[in-house]
Amino acid sequence: MSASDPDFVRHHGSLGHIVPLRVLALTLAGLLLLTVVTVGVTMVPWLDLGPAGNLWIALLIATIKAALVALYFMHLRYEKPIISIILIVTLCFVILFIGLSMMDSRAYQPSIRAYRAVDPTRYAPDVYNR
């Protein structure tokens, strides 16, 4: 039986797990639904949690969508654990990098603001002074 035979996979097994079409379709449906939700949340006044709260909701929904893409479209659910480890370790370092940089920049903002408050052109001298 050659590889181009339609029954080849059924007899010989496949390289890597084959995701059922139903799973792919359901994942897409979930993603589209979540997209509607994430846009809708911005249009409904009583769900307004202020700038910070809205940001975290948006990030949460985005993370769920990303998880769906990664787990089902990218087969993460069916891969060996090492792949998940690679992804998680990467995300940890991303958080470390962004977190510490944010922490530091927020802490030195007062000195920047004090400097800029003296003269408004100091916000961006090359832009304002033309």
Between residue 57 and residue 96, which ones bind another protein under the rule CB under 8 A?
A: 58-59, 61-62, 65-66, 69-70, 72-74, 79-80, 82-83, 86-87, 89-91, 93-94, 96
Residues 103-122 that bind another protein (CB under 8 A): 103-109, 111, 113, 116-117, 120-121
- Cβ-based neighbour number of residue 72 at 10 Å: 19
48 binds another protein (CB under 8 A): yes
Residues 23-42 that bind another protein (CB under 8 A): 24-25, 27-28, 31-32, 35, 38-39, 42
Q: What is the DSSP string of 11-47?
A: HH--SSPPPPHHHHHHHHHHHHHHHHHHHHHHH-GGG
